Amino acid sequence: MTDRGQQGPRPQVVTPAADESWLVEVALAASREAGGVPVELLGDYLTLLAEAATTGRRPAPFELDAVEALGRRAAELGVSAGNAVQLYLSAAKRLWAELPMVIRSRNSAAVREAAAAVLHVIDAAVARLADGHNEVRREMVRWEETLRREFIDDLLRGDADVGRLVERAEPFGLDMARAHQVALAAPTGRLNEVDPVISSVEHAVVDHFGDRDVLVATKDGWIVVVAPVDTGGSATPRSELGEFLHAVLSRAPRGRPWRVTVGRPYPGSYGIPRSYEEAREGLALAVRLHLDAPVIQAEQLLIYRVLLRDQPAIADLVQDVLGALAQARGGAEPLLATLDTYFTSGGVATETARRLHLSVRAVTYRLDRVKTLTGHDPTDPAQRFAIHAAVLGARLLGWPDKDLTTSP
């Protein structure tokens, strides 16, 4: 603390407590200049400034704690940090302009000392005001993020109270009466919730589809996009969401091979979880079937879903039609892969050879070997359906790696 004996003569003052009406006028003027920020947010700030200028007193810790509390109050009232700081700076500027009415001194050293004391209060008070405001804002962000995660979990799970869910959807701009579809984007590795790609996807989706009725989130390491489907005459093609999302992700930094699956659109509060389940099931099937397509629509997987509804029957089909392939030299997998690629390529041997990096002769030999072992000719249109269904079933059930003769 400065030794009073080493200071210059103090200015003659009129103590603020003697007449504080001028402080009220300063506060009201500062409030107007800051856009109507409540005067109550100044607290004892003006008194601290006046005392600093007239006596050199620095604010006590508890007084700065009170200013920090006012910063928290400002955030709770919805006053921006910028407007709150503007209120404090405007108040300080106006108070300083009024100080010649209080300080009756021509001593320049005393004026400099008063200015230094006032600037110290401004600096300390504004810093604590901002700290309090930022603390509440961080708490609000964490709370909003918690509400968002809980809402998304309940929305996609589909077993929450419908009425309450509709109410909770309103702040997110979702009209539950509309038809929505869900797209899932899965990277090769697990996605970090703070990955910058999430923010870029959200901005791109909102810019493309609008900021209403669109929700972008993360769940289980995937990016989830919920978007409305217009049922009017100028409806957007259902495939657009998946194609658009994949295009955005392909341009993302640290590009990964992304796979996007899209559920079919459904109306109502149960429509979103139903579409989500289709997209989620699509991701699982794409992995099991080693599908190469980067974007997969739910409609493309309906045949697989049909097959999976009766696993015992499809297991019998695999065993009866393809079981003999296990006797082949090298096992069943090379022949099964050849059949899978042959059917995927439309039954064209040359295209099958290209995809498998084999000669056409090697492909035709393998197909003949399948016919010899199983008694079923994959090149015969009359027999192709049964063999193709068995191949699909084998991929779905994990045969030949999994023994289908044992109970699941």
Instruction: Assign domain 310-397 one CATH number from 1.10.760.10, 3.30.1020.10, 1.10.10.2840, 1.10.3720.10.
Output: 1.10.10.2840
Residue-wise pLDDT tens digits, 376-398: 999 998 888 889 989 988 888 88
Q: Mean pLDDT throughout 172-183?
A: 85
8 Å CB contact between 400 and 326:
yes
Task: Identify the H or E element spanning 63.
Answer: helix 61-76
Q: What pTM did the predictor assign?
A: 0.61
Instruction: Name residues whose C-beta falls within 8 Å of residue 337's C-beta, 6 or more positions apart in sequence.
Output: 356
Q: Mean pLDDT throughout 168-183?
A: 84
Q: Report the DSSP beta bridge partners of residue 266.
A: 180
Provide the residue ranges of all domains of the chain, joining segments of one domain with +. Answer: 4-138, 165-304, 310-397
Pairing, β 259-262 against β 295-297: parallel
Residue-wise pLDDT tens digits, 213-259: 788 888 888 889 998 886 443 344 455 888 888 888 888 766 568 88
Fold of 165-304: Alpha-Beta Plaits (3.30.70)
Residue 192: predicted pLDDT: 59
- What's the chain's average pLDDT? 83
Alpha-carbon dihedral 182, 186, 192, 193, rounded to 10 degrees: 0
Residue-wise pLDDT tens digits, 322-334: 999 988 888 899 9
How far apart are the C-alpha atoms of 315 and 381, rounded to whole Å?
23
Residue 17 has pLDDT above 80, yes or no: no
Residue-wise pLDDT tens digits, 304-361: 877 777 888 888 999 999 999 988 888 899 999 999 999 988 899 999 999 999 999 9
Torsion sign across C-alpha atoms 106, 108, 109, 110: positive
Residue-wise pLDDT tens digits, 72-113: 999 999 999 999 999 999 999 999 888 765 554 556 777 788
